[in-house]
Amino acid sequence: MSKKVLVAMSGGVDSSVAALLLKEQGYEVIGAHMKLWDYVEVGGDIYKDGRCCTIDSITDCRFVCDAIGAPFYVLNMSQKFKETVIENFVSEYRQGRTPNPCIRCNTEVKWYEFLHKAEEIGCDYIATGHYSYIEKKDDGRFMIRKGKDTTRDQSYVLWGLTQDALAKTLMPLGGLLKSEVREMALRYNLHTAHKAESREICFVADDNYRRFLTEYEEKQGRSFASGDIVHEDGTVLGQHKGTAFYTIGQRKGLGIAYPTPLYVQKIDPETNRVIVGDNDALYKDELIAQRINWVSIKPPQKEFDAEVKIRYLHRPARARMTPLSENRLHIKFAEKQRAITPGQSVVFYNKDILLGGGLIEG
Partner 1 sequence: MKPIYLDHNATTPVDAEVVEAMLPYLNVKFGNASSVHSFGRDAKVALENAREQIAQIINCEPSELYFTSGGTESDNLAVLGTAYHLKNKKNHIIIGATEHHAVLESAEYLAHHEDFKLDLLPVNREGFVSPAQLKELISEQTALVSVMHANNETGTIQDIGALTKVAHEKGVLFHTDAVQSTGKIPVDVKQMGVDMLSLTAHKIYGPKGIGALFIRQGVKIVPLFYGGSHEKKRRPGTENVAGAVGLAKTLEIAIKRMQADFDELSKLADYFIEKVTASIPDVHFNGSRQSRIPQTVNLSFEGIEGESILLALDIKGIACSSGSACTSGATEPSHVLTAMGIDKVVAQGAIRFSMGRSTTKEQLDYVVSVLMEEISRLRELSPVYRKGK
With vertex at residue 8, the alpha carbon angle to CA 7 and CA 9, rounded to the nearest 5 degrees, is: 105
Could you say which of 48, 49, 122, 136 contacts partner 1 (CB under 8 A)? 122
Query: What is d(CA 245, CA 223) in angstroms, rounded to the nearest whole number?
Result: 12
Q: Is 65 marked active-site?
A: no
Which of 39, 41, 44, 58 is the binder for partner 1 (CB under 8 A)?
58
Cα(181)–Cα(146) distance, integer angstroms: 16
Q: Which of 3, 45, 46, 55 binds partner 1 (CB under 8 A)?
A: 55
Cα 48 from Cα 58, distance rounded (Å): 14
Rounded to an integer, what distance in angstroms lies between the CA atom of residue 214 and that of residue 228? 19
Q: How far apart are CA 58 and CA 340, in angstroms?
A: 37
The answer to whether residue 177 forms part of the interface with partner 1 (CB under 8 A) is no
Q: By C-beta, is 122 or 261 nearer to partner 1? A: 122
Q: Cα angle at 55 between 199 and 23, to 5 degrees?
A: 75
Residue whose CB is less far from partner 1, 86 or 173: 86
Binding of residue 74 to partner 1 (CB under 8 A): yes
If binding is defined by CB under 8 A, does position 120 make contact with partner 1?
A: yes
Q: Judge whether 105 counts as a catalytic residue.
A: yes
Q: Catalytic: which of 61, 65, 102, 202?
A: 202
Q: Is 67 a binder of partner 1 (CB under 8 A)?
A: no
Cα distance between residue 294 and residue 322, in whole Å: 14
Minimum distance from CB of 121 to partner 1 (Å)?
5
- Interface with partner 1, residue 103, by CB under 8 A: no
**φ and ψ at residue 209, rounded to 5 degrees:** -70, -25
What angle, 0 to 180 degrees and rounded to 10, lies between the N-to-C axes of helices 13-24 and 55-68?
20
Quote the Cα angle for 150-154-158, to 5°: 140
Nearer to partner 1, 122 or 175 (CB): 122
Tell me the sheet residues that pair with 73.
32
Out of 41, 50, 121, 237, name the contact with partner 1 by CB under 8 A. Answer: 121
Distance CA 212, CA 206 (A): 9
Stretch of 72-80, 182-190, 278-286, 304-312 contacting partner 1, by CB under 8 A = 72-80
Among 30, 176, 310, 360, binds partner 1 (CB under 8 A): 30
Could you say whether residue 73 binds partner 1 (CB under 8 A)? Answer: yes
CB of 78 to partner 1, least distance (A): 8
Instruction: Give catalytic residue positions.
Output: 105, 202
Q: Residues interacting with partner 1, by CB under 8 A? A: 30, 35, 55, 58, 71, 73-76, 78, 116-117, 119-122
